[in-house]
Amino acid sequence: MSGRITAGVVARVVVRTMGELSITLGVVTLLFVVWQLWWTDIEANREQEQLAQGLEEQWASGTGPAPVDAAAAPSAPASGAAAPGAVPVSDDGLLAAAGEAFAILRLPTLGADYQEPVLAGTATSTLQRGIGHYEGTTGPGQIGNFSIAGHRTTYGAPFSRIAELRERDPVIVQTAAGYFVYRVSAIEIVSPQEVAVIAPVPNQPGVAPTTAMMTMTTCHPRYSARQRYIVHSTFVSQVATADEVPTVLAQG
Amino acid sequence: MYELLWRVIPGAWGVKVVLLIVLLVAVLAALFLWVFPVIAPLVPFNDQTVEETRAMSAGHVPAVVP
């Protein structure tokens, strides 16, 4: 090149730069997909394993900050509460410090080794580390609706196989207070705005609860956020050790 | 753009290639560790919770807003 700048040279440089930028943007977009579908799983799986292990060690040693004793806590909506069903959204609704793990969810249907930590609150950053407990909903085993949310894809995807759950399948929530055994009672697919599914009495907002329920929410269909996959469970019993869980399930 | 980059990077041919690889890894690390985690909450397919939107009338069970 002679170094003379002609209109043709300028045009070529502009077009080439635009082309290069477009290709770069495409590559970065592909990298984002790789990160979202692959890297977040790796990071979150490691974190969730650590959280669950940390909880078990904490419970075994009986030291550390005592996790919420959900069973011993006063059951809020049962009696004397101002307006049943109108649980105020406040920091008090958290079962532990925001983002802190307080329980382990076990779904024997998905394997004996299925265990995922349950964290307080449903902030985006919390759900990226594990299953989140909707603040304001009741605790495990209590009268009302213990409601949790988790990723179905990406970020460790704790609820990736939730569609394998069938009615009467056991759902076990382990806290410092013991094992809370539920059985799946209903499965539904709703719109993301359908907050009534986590009402104290599912799908009946404003009605005072008389039974202990549990609700899991995640996205549906997979790799989409168009709808929500909802699994309701009914409380069966609370036991102190893992050995007693099969006995309870055999009875109920 | 990339031609300019090639010219700006110092050294002989082999040195340039090594420097480019280092640069590429640095860019990848920055994307994975800082840029993508910031973008992720902004894409619409990451919501797992049910929540009340402005479109819904009052009087429902107060929902958790993530």
Q: Would you list the DSSP string of A43-61?
A: HHHHHHHHHHHHHHHHHHH
Task: Choose among A135, A150, A225: nearest Cβ to B64.
Answer: A135
pLDDT of A79 reads 32
pLDDT for B40 equals: 86
**Coil, strand or helix: which one is A77?**
coil
Provide the pLDDT for residue A67. 44
- 3-state secondary structure at position A101: strand
CA–CA distance, B17 with A198 (Å, rounded to integer): 57
B57 contacts chain A (CB < 8 A): no
Whether residue B48 and residue A149 make contact (CB cut-off 8 A), yes or no, is yes
What's the pLDDT score for residue A223? Answer: 84
Q: Band the pLDDT of A183: cuts 50, 70, 90.
A: very high
- A20 reaches B (C-beta below 8 A): yes
Distance CA A174, CA A118 (A): 10
Q: Within chain A, what is the greatest distance between any pair of CA atoms? A: 91
Predicted local distance difference test score (pLDDT) of residue B43: 78
The dihedral sign for the CA sequence A83, A84, A88, A90: positive
pTM: 0.78
Which pLDDT belongs to residue A88? 31
DSSP three-state, residue B8? helix
Q: What is the arithmetic mean of pLDDT over A122-133?
A: 90
Question: Do residue A192 and residue B47 have CB atoms under 8 angstroms apart?
Answer: yes
CA-wise closest residue to A35 among B41, B44, B31? B31
Q: Is the pLDDT of residue A133 over 70?
A: yes
Tell me which chain B residues have a C-beta less than 8 angstroms from the C-beta of A35. 31-32, 36
Which of the residue ranges A16-30, A218-232, B17-31, B39-53 would you say has the lowest mean pLDDT? B39-53
Residue B58 — pLDDT band, cuts 50, 70, 90? very low
pLDDT tens, residue by residue, A54-96: 998 888 887 554 444 444 444 333 333 333 332 233 345 688 8
C-alpha dist (Å) from residue A90 to A121, A194, A197, A202, B2: 11, 20, 19, 20, 53
Does the structure show a pLDDT above 50 at B42? yes
Comparison of pLDDT for B62 and A205, the residue scoring more: A205
Q: What is the pLDDT of residue A63?
A: 58
pLDDT at B64 over 80: no
Quick one: pLDDT band at residue B1, thresholds 50, 70, 90? confident
Alpha helices in A35-103 (DSSP H): 40-61
Query: What's the rounded mean pLDDT across residues A171-178?
Result: 91
**Closest residue to A122, CB basis, from B53, B62, B66:** B66
- Would you say residue A131 has pLDDT above 90? yes
